Structure 1
Amino acid sequence: MNFAFALRRMRRSWRQLAVLLIGICLVTAFFALPPLYVRAMVQSGIRFTLDSAPAERLTLTLINPQPFAPADWSFITAQLGDLVGGLTRIARSAAAFGGFSYQYGEPTTELTPRSEFSFHAYAFSDIEKHLRVLEGRLPMRLAPPDSPERIALTEEERIDKGIGMYSTGDVEAVIGVEAARQSGYGIGTRFAIGEFPANRVVVHIVGIVEAADPDDLLWQGNRRALEGEVIQVGLTDRQYQLAFIVTEGAYSDWIAKATQTLRSGQNNSYVWLIRLNGQAVTADTLSTMRERLKFVVDKLTADYRGLLSANPLLRDLDRYVDQVARTEPPLILLAGAVLLLMLYHLITTVSLYLQTQAEEWAALSSRGASVGQLVRLQALTMLILCVIGAILGAPLALLLLNALWLIGPLGAAQGGAPIAGIPANAYWLSALAAAAAFIMLSAPALPSARRSLAQFKQLAARPPQLPTWRRYALDLILIVVGLGFIARLLFFVEGDLGQTLSLLLDNPPGLVQRIVDGAARTGGLSDPFNLLGAGLLLSGMALLWLRLFPALLALISLFTRRSNGLTAPLSIWNVERDPSHYAQLVLLLIGTLALGTAALGLSHTREIGAWAAARAVTGGAVRVVLDGRDAPDLDAWRALPEVRGAESILRLESAQQAGTVSYTLLGLPLQRFSATFPETAQALMPLQGQDIAVRRTFNRQTRQPAEVSVVPAVISERLAREVGAAQRPDRQPLRIGNEAVIELLLPNNTRWPVHFRVMNVVRSFPSLNESQQFLLMEQAHLGRLIFATPATALVVRPVPNEIWLDLPQGAPSAALQAQIAAQTGYQSALYAWESYTDLLREPLPAAVAGMLYAGFWVSLLLSVLDFAFYLAVTARRRALSFAVLRALGWDANQIWALLAVEQTALIAPALVVGIGLGVLLAYVILPFLTLFGGVALSLPSAGLLGVLLALLAAFAALIGAVAWWLRRMEIHRALRLGEE
């Protein structure tokens, strides 16, 4: 039984082995898919993040109290390579320093109070690119202090060379327009800087400039270089600090020493703004770039004491690396669970293949072939196929990824095409799947090799035995063990299994949210026991269905026997006669449907949840900020295209001040608001029909009786905690019915007391998150509160300053965005679609839904291959019976109907069971995906119908092909095959 003999047998059975090879390649491709899928999502997320990132997020900022060495730039470019996009150097004084007005001929060795300004000095690389000259010219680098040009032995030489007390300027500088206006300085003005006599420098202004690009990143944090700065001195006085700009050479020659102060000594900061090229960061270079960026910063921090760095890109890269670390292992674990189903597909196919070879094997065994020789023959055949599958698995996975990107749940959200190339771990996973397939495909050869020719004929004449799993009640064991793991998960949610079960029965969405909130305790998909419990439970229920399947057929046969026709009774009898023969195919069909149902359910639920979460972040589908000058025309807003509803909001926020609590008040038109935005109805319902109450109190400041208006309001949980701790005697949070007061800081630095009565407490509200302290009230009530305090009415206008729009789920058109921007009072707009697309890029839920989707299609293809193989094998075996029926007068349509009824008896119940198990699988996985919006599982009816139609169409085509083949077979040929 050598290699040549195995190849001859493979050539003889090339059709069956080709089908088996296709199945092996599909399995290896699926298991090699997780790293490709995660890589593609990370690449899409990186591109979206970096391509839309502002310039400051793609800038590495290094601030050093010492000058950088020239070798540092060579080190940075060598480490970061293509990631480096450019460098801007800044030298500046860290704090203001002293100086005075300079007069020609007067000594500069003593500091005199002849200037009302202190000074800031700046120098920029490529100064001509950053500044636009309005008057005069840009500065030039003059002779440094140690230059021979500055050596003078006599007073005449000092006058002639313009140095010392006769200086015409040691350094040339320019100032900004605002600096010139504030200081009164202009071209030709000279002043002296330096608090130490030895460091004095005369600065000569040679130009007035402005920023060439005011939006350049250079001016963020350096605007003072053009405008100077006004600082508070004492309680009432202010002082202007003048800033001037010199060349880099002049700064190192003269200014670096002149900036020293009497108090702190060295007073310089050297800033490097390193522009980073986002295109150099891909999913493949992510970890490398992260490590190199971190190494560069750590090395420079060690070399320069006091160096500060700002590296926003490193934070983004850390986030993506962490996402990969959290996503890939659970995804591979999930793919491994689905791989078991696919291996079962292969076992079914190879079992059918071995049935076609059983007679030959029995003959070889009877002629002296040993069991070991036959097993090695099968193992060698499967090894050749599995090696081919291992090699082709990763490339096929890339093709599968591209197909999923076009038709799957991820492509629409991510856009573009997935990144090219195949990572090394995809090949390893492909090889691992091929090794598992080799073991599973070789194992069935052992019982077949032990049968002699006599045993083969005996088995052909005897009814089949019960399968092993049924003899040992494996289905019941799997269900019990799976329930045990599910109970373990539920126990970790609350620490009380009984309470969790009660929550499961009363409020399933609430239980899902509890599991999401307690991800640290439950472990999520990273805990293999959570997924194992779901897999065991579903497998046990599928096997339990197979145990009940014969009883169901017996029940159906009671009705079909009463039929006058022959088709239905004969079809059911064929299946009922040997139900275990169909058991494997039914089990595979159930698993395939479960994967498809779960994938569709999770994807649909994720889209609904992400849209709900995006609306919650935004406030409707679009939140438009108005200037608040005039009341908005709601009819005009509602007439915009695509707009289903529009409501005006009055938003008041505390003025920002350190040490002051920030509050937000929302005035809502309650009668219409809940109808336009139904997600707010439950929170706002207690406000319906409520009115402001008037309480009599005593004003301690005026020592007069006073009336206080108490407004009914819905408050946030945080406000309830904070205000309750401050105002309730028991320090407990505010509860419904409690009255309290907050003070809102107004822009004029006055405080406005707002008295309210708690009608409801909510965790969050659209446009307001759980970390904020907010109050919701009727818009008219908020206006009455404002007018009730004349001082407040002078500062706050009770005019709506926001418009919330309700749109269908989807991207707003460019025409709508243009019309929104053209509306009266428009200032800015926030679109929920932007948050929605960002949420859909969350790797773990997208990857799990996508892998289940991929698993469904691969499993569907394997099921089609299995059924095709099964029909090809059994059609030849049943050719005699069909020929007899043809001889009795049956036509081809009746034979097709017979096959159709047989397959319907198999498929129809499996469809129901498969969908039910898919729903259960989706419910089990749902809490671990950290879905958004707090929504429960939702199944898309159109998608589910499409899955069913795809299955039915595939099996109908297979049955039609078999019927066509039988129709072409002549009766005498079929009888001759039957005699053989």
Structure 2
Amino acid sequence: MAIWTMIFRKMAKNRWLQLNLWFGLTICVALFSSMPLYSHAILQRTLFKELQQLQKDQNIYPGSLRASTSVSGTRTFDENKSLIAKADRYMNGAPQRLGLDAQSYIITRATQSFKVLPEDASEREKKEMSVTGSIRTVSDIEKRVRIIDGRLPDPNRNDGIYEALVTQKYIIDLKRDLDHVFVYTKKDTGEQLRIMPVGIVESKQDNAYDQFNVESYNSSFYIPYKKFNQDFIENESLLKISVLAWQYSLNYEQMNIDHIDTYLSQYKAMNNYFNMRLGIASVDMPAKNPIATYTEKKDKLDIMLWSLYSPVMFLLAFYLYMAANLIIERQKTEISVLRSRGASRLQIMFVFLTESLLLGALALAVGPFIGVYFTKILGASSGFLEFVQRSSLDVVLNSSSYKIAAAAVAGSIILILIPAFLATRASIVGHKQQMARGSKMSFWHKTGIDVILLGVAIYMLYGFNKRMDDLKALALDPNAIQVEPLLFFMPALFCLGTGLLVLRVYPWLIKLVFWIGRRWWTPALYSTLLQISRSSSQYLTIKVFLIMTVAMGLFSANAARTINGNMEDKIQYTTGSDIQLSVHWDNDKPPPPMPGAPAMVNADDNGAAQAPKVVTYTEPSFITMTELAGVETAARVFRKDDANFSVNGQNGGTTLYGIDTLDFGKVAWMRGGLLDYPINSYLNLIASNPKAVLISRSLADKYQVKPGDPISAKWAGLDSANFTVYGIIDYWPGWNPLPQTGNEEDPNVRLPNLIVGHLSYIQNHLALEPYEVWIKLKEGATSALIYDDLVKKEIPVEKLVDANQLLIRSKNDPFRLAINGVMTLGFVISMMISFFGFLLFWVLTLSGRTLQFGILRAMGISFMQIIGMLLSEQLLTSAAAILFGVLIGNAVSSQFVPLFQLSFNATDQVPPFEIVRQLSDYVQLYSVVGIMLTIGLAVLGIRVSRMKITQALKLGEE
């Protein structure tokens, strides 16, 4: 009991130190527990968004599950009856096996097709009519169709006539009105089956999930479900069952990524069940393709999260070690006294282990809930230190979070106990000797870890640069935004190694400054320089901590800005403007041939092949496009990808652009620095001459073309039109200058060519063909305004590319969300622990130097001089470390951020990859650091003012 009393008294005495340690442990637990929470929540949201997008893009309900099968005619009726009953029971349990609620369930059954004739058909009709049909049933058909004319069938009619529903098209094909009887006659026996249409129906879709379409089966007589089962399933009839189908609309919002294996295994099991059981079968689940990739996505995201978190984890580990080391340093005298009085190392370690376990238990109780809050912050992150009002992530604490949190606590406790274990080796005499040798070299520098870490980071950087060169040369696709985990770990090694190397040299620099001005320094500055040069190892921890925080903060900011900026630039450049729109043009183009039919060849009377027919188009009103709601400016942009050119006696293929220079300059997006001059300068250059064109540098270099040279262009079936080259360009909105394969610097690789001319000249001298409409939206206008107006004005849209929607979809990519969220969170946490670590270090340092300040005051040093001494000490330690951090952060950004090109497809990364630095990130970083130093100095000043320095001079103090 005495040892427990000692533990609690000891913790109460050092409550502020223990509170700092508990804070670090709690943040550590929160950070680790947020990893599985975030991975699960973001993948869950992404799955839901992808399923929603599937419904939007393809008009398919994502929760649909459909199994259909033919029924083999080789089996007996009783065999088929038994198999159908088993299939019904199997499909009835499908929602339960998948763990999803059924929103609707449709069973469709149909007989074999047969020739049908009106009962009152004339002899001529009997010979000429060739209408076929089948008897079909749909469960709860009265809820799924709308009666246009007539009534619903009577299921209880027993006079041998089947009352049925038909579509409007089918009743026209039957050439009779409702309530006329139609007859099917079996040839071999002469038996007849009589059907009477009593109602005309159309599909009724009152909700998104009930997707039964009666028009899909036009040649059908729909009879009541119960009647069909009784006469064709339970009992043998003139007609055999041909097709069976079961269709569920399941609640896809209940789909959980934890059960993806269940969904996929059930889909496979359903395929296996129906495979040739009754006949030829197919199972369709639209959600299968999106969910099939999620296991791979989860693995990649988990690896990426670990790599993203690693720098922050390193800083947290550093903070915990620093805090524990400072606490142990303060208690070394007490530990050495206990050792000298007979306490064993095991007993002392038990005391520290108990303290750590208590703090760890408290951190484990609070940390996971803070981790939930961290996860919600990550979900709201739209960019680095940017947050949006996005729907909150669905975050639920689970066992994985607590397992990882417990492992984090265990690791942290081991880290905390290391300084305690080392401290138990020293006796009271050894401790006093160690205090007298405060200027010894640190373990980091003694073992050369700085050189080792820097060497490893540089070697890995060389390897990645080599890989990037190979990637460019072969134009390989590294799979969209797949980020290499080591890209985040290497900079941390580089920052630590460089920081330690700088701090190895820095004390010698201080000694040099001290030696140069030793005759002129004021007493306060003299004491400061002497203190820092002789006790460099004392300040090493806080300086390394500040260097790592600032350097990794800058790297995180620049890396996130670069990835976001290049992805957004790529989308905007490829689209060319806010919206790219193509509408239908009326034309005299012949219809496409039937599938499998031989291709038609255009030939003259003698059989000789002729040039392909030139299609004549009718241009729709362009003014209508400019008057759409939300449109600020619209421009006509003609693109012909398969055009040809002739220049200097040589021919080649090219992409031909036709534009209106004034309108194009208002709508086009172009990143600065891609062209030798602003894009509007090029547009002004060619505006004065209708024949003027701009050509790509690839065309100019290969065919030795220069401004002023004539060039002609055309496409199939046309005569050439003559142009004059006015300028040479490297890039153009919407045009990719990179080759599909190979390195663009290889002379043997074929590069794309481009010619940009006037639309009116091309239309007058070549042909009038469909062009795109590029639209720039008004300030604050949304895409929905244009979409609604297009529907309202019934404009036949054939293609629409919306840059804003593509940007939104890009920002919702789980890997991009992870980069933005984790880097933002890591930066904020780094700043927090840096602030607390800064305060902890300097408060404890001041407490240990009370005697020194008392002696200085006794020597006549004023209080303000002591404050000045502290300020200069701060500038030469903390401020210097922050300056080193900024320099190292910029260096690591310049060397490592370009490696993120590995995350982009080398063949379509246009505009070219560039490092993005934003002034606001530097301002935020400097503001946080400045506030931290100011508050720290204020706290230190207050602590010094409250010190009872005169008591430090009592005899026996030291």
Do the aligned partners of 2:438 and 2:538 also contact (CA within 8 Å) in 1?
no
How far off is 1:30 after superposition? 1.6
Name the amino acid aligned to 1:539: L
Name the amino acid aligned to 2:824: Y
Do the aligned partners of 2:576 and 2:668 also contact (CA within 8 Å) in 1?
no
Q: Tell me: CA distance 1:84–1:551, structure 2 relative to 1, closer, same or farther (3 Å).
A: farther
Correspondence 1:117 to 2:140: no
Correspondence 1:951 to 2:929: yes
How far off is 1:402 after superposition? 3.0
1:857 alignment counterpart: 828
Correspondence 1:57 to 2:62: yes
Find the partner of 2:332 among 358, 382, 392: 358
Give, in whole Å, the separation in 1 of the partners of 2:424 and 2:493.
32
Do the aligned partners of 1:486 and 1:534 also contact (CA within 8 Å) in 2?
no
Do the aligned partners of 2:851 and 2:953 also contact (CA within 8 Å) in 1?
yes
2:321 alignment counterpart: 347
1:27 alignment counterpart: 28
Give, in whole Å, the separation in 2 of the partners of 1:769 and 1:112.
67
Do the aligned partners of 1:51 and 1:278 also contact (CA within 8 Å) in 2?
no
Q: Tell me: CA distance 1:97–1:379, structure 2 relative to 1, closer, same or farther (3 Å).
A: same
1:236 alignment counterpart: none
SS in 1 for 2:45: helix
User: With structure 1 as the length reference, what TM-score do the two structures score?
Assistant: 0.76
How far off is 1:134 after superposition? 2.2
How far off is 1:950 after superposition? 1.3
Give, in whole Å, the separation in 2 of the partners of 1:471 and 1:206.
98
Q: Deviations over 1:27-64 (max 9, x none)?
A: 22222222122122123323333445524333122222
Do the aligned partners of 1:554 and 1:576 also contact (CA within 8 Å) in 2?
yes
Do the aligned partners of 2:454 and 2:493 also contact (CA within 8 Å) in 1?
yes
2:658 alignment counterpart: 667
SS in 2 for 1:223: helix
Q: Tell me: CA distance 1:492–1:765, structure 2 relative to 1, closer, same or farther (3 Å).
A: same
Name the amino acid aligned to 1:812: T
Name the amino acid aligned to 1:272: W
Q: Deviations over 1:631-682 (max 9, x none)?
A: 3389868xx8795x6433246899xxxxxxxx99753335663675343875
How far off is 1:354 after superposition? 1.0
2:957 alignment counterpart: 979
SS in 2 for 1:417: coil
2:452 alignment counterpart: 477
Q: Tell me: CA distance 1:831–1:571, structure 2 relative to 1, closer, same or farther (3 Å).
A: farther
Q: Tell me: CA distance 1:306–1:739, structure 2 relative to 1, closer, same or farther (3 Å).
A: farther
Q: Tell me: CA distance 1:90–1:816, structure 2 relative to 1, closer, same or farther (3 Å).
A: closer
SS in 1 for 2:484: helix
For these two proteins, the number of residue pairs brought into alignment is 863
2:170 alignment counterpart: 179
Find the partner of 1:209 among 201, 207, 216: 201
Do the aligned partners of 2:66 and 2:247 also contact (CA within 8 Å) in 1?
yes
Aligned sequence identity (%): 18
Q: Tell me: CA distance 1:678–1:417, structure 2 relative to 1, closer, same or farther (3 Å).
A: closer
How far off is 1:353 after superposition? 0.6
Correspondence 1:839 to 2:810: yes
Do the aligned partners of 2:479 and 2:903 also contact (CA within 8 Å) in 1?
no
1:371 alignment counterpart: 345
Q: Tell me: CA distance 1:382–1:135, structure 2 relative to 1, closer, same or farther (3 Å).
A: closer
Name the amino acid aligned to 1:212: K
Find the partner of 1:649 among 637, 652, 665: 637
Do the aligned partners of 2:468 and 2:901 also contact (CA within 8 Å) in 1?
no
Q: Deviations over 1:692-731 (max 9, x none)?
A: x99xxxxxxxxxxxxxx999987999xxxxxx9xxxxxxx
- Residues 96-111 of structure 1: matches in 2 within 5 Å? 97-103=114-120
2:363 alignment counterpart: 389
Q: Tell me: CA distance 1:871–1:682, structure 2 relative to 1, closer, same or farther (3 Å).
A: closer
Name the amino acid aligned to 2:957: E
Do the aligned partners of 1:32 and 1:429 also contact (CA within 8 Å) in 2?
yes
Correspondence 1:70 to 2:88: yes
Q: Deviations over 1:729-785 (max 9, x none)?
A: xxxxxxx99999755xxxxxxx7799999999999963999999999654645x555
Do the aligned partners of 1:713 and 1:756 also contact (CA within 8 Å) in 2?
no
Do the aligned partners of 2:29 and 2:368 also contact (CA within 8 Å) in 1?
yes
1:730 alignment counterpart: none
Give, in whole Å, the separation in 1 of the partners of 2:466 and 2:757.
46
Q: Tell me: CA distance 1:449–1:711, structure 2 relative to 1, closer, same or farther (3 Å).
A: closer
Give, in whole Å, the separation in 2 of the partners of 1:714 and 1:244.
63
The range that moved more, 212-221 or 564-573, is: 212-221
Do the aligned partners of 1:414 and 1:841 also contact (CA within 8 Å) in 2?
no
Q: Tell me: CA distance 1:393–1:668, structure 2 relative to 1, closer, same or farther (3 Å).
A: same
Give, in whole Å, the separation in 1 of the partners of 2:630 and 2:872.
52
Give, in whole Å, the separation in 1 of the partners of 2:395 and 2:810.
24
Do the aligned partners of 1:193 and 1:258 also contact (CA within 8 Å) in 2?
no
How far off is 1:71 after superposition? 0.5
1:490 alignment counterpart: 465
How far off is 1:911 after superposition? 2.6
Name the amino acid aligned to 2:296: D
Find the partner of 1:428 among 389, 403, 408: 403
Q: Tell me: CA distance 1:520–1:321, structure 2 relative to 1, closer, same or farther (3 Å).
A: closer
How far off is 1:550 after superposition? 1.5
How far off is 1:588 after superposition? 0.9
Q: Tell me: CA distance 1:925–1:860, structure 2 relative to 1, closer, same or farther (3 Å).
A: farther
SS in 1 for 2:426: coil
Name the amino acid aligned to 1:134: I
2:559 alignment counterpart: 602
Please, what is the CA RMSD of the aligned residues? 4.9
1:312 alignment counterpart: 286
Q: Tell me: CA distance 1:453–1:777, structure 2 relative to 1, closer, same or farther (3 Å).
A: same
1:805 alignment counterpart: 776
Q: Tell me: CA distance 1:279–1:12, structure 2 relative to 1, closer, same or farther (3 Å).
A: same
Do the aligned partners of 1:100 and 1:114 also contact (CA within 8 Å) in 2?
no
Find the partner of 1:766 among 734, 737, 749: 734
Give, in whole Å, the separation in 2 of the partners of 1:128 and 1:299.
31
1:47 alignment counterpart: 48
Correspondence 1:129 to 2:139: no
SS in 1 for 2:635: strand
How far off is 1:428 after superposition? 1.9
How far off is 1:883 after superposition? 4.0
SS in 1 for 2:62: helix
Q: Deviations over 1:499-534 (max 9, x none)?
A: xxxxxxxxxxxx8x77994648999535x6x66544
Find the partner of 2:942 among 964, 971, 979: 964
Do the aligned partners of 2:111 and 2:242 also contact (CA within 8 Å) in 1?
yes
SS in 1 for 2:155: coil
Give, in whole Å, the separation in 2 of the partners of 1:764 and 1:56.
39
Q: Deviations over 1:209-247 (max 9, x none)?
A: 23334997766775343xx4xxxxxxxxxxxxx444333
Q: Tell me: CA distance 1:258–1:365, structure 2 relative to 1, closer, same or farther (3 Å).
A: closer
Name the amino acid aligned to 1:174: L
2:874 alignment counterpart: 903
Name the amino acid aligned to 1:48: K
2:104 alignment counterpart: 86
SS in 1 for 2:127: coil
Q: Tell me: CA distance 1:606–1:103, structure 2 relative to 1, closer, same or farther (3 Å).
A: same
Give, in whole Å, the separation in 1 of the partners of 2:475 and 2:509.
40
Q: Deviations over 1:839-884 (max 9, x none)?
A: 1222223323432332333233222222222222121222234345
SS in 1 for 2:109: strand
SS in 2 for 1:416: coil
Give, in whole Å, the separation in 1 of the partners of 2:468 and 2:360.
43
Structure 1 unpaired stretches of 5+: 144-148, 150-160, 164-169, 229-241, 496-510, 655-662, 695-708, 718-723, 725-735, 744-750
1:586 alignment counterpart: 543
How far off is 1:257 after superposition? 13
How far off is 1:471 after superposition? 1.9
Give, in whole Å, the separation in 1 of the partners of 2:480 and 2:146.
60
Name the amino acid aligned to 1:621: D
Find the partner of 1:525 among 462, 484, 490: 484
Q: Tell me: CA distance 1:248–1:320, structure 2 relative to 1, closer, same or farther (3 Å).
A: same
Q: Tell me: CA distance 1:111–1:345, structure 2 relative to 1, closer, same or farther (3 Å).
A: same
1:454 alignment counterpart: 429
The range that moved more, 560-569 or 466-475, is: 560-569
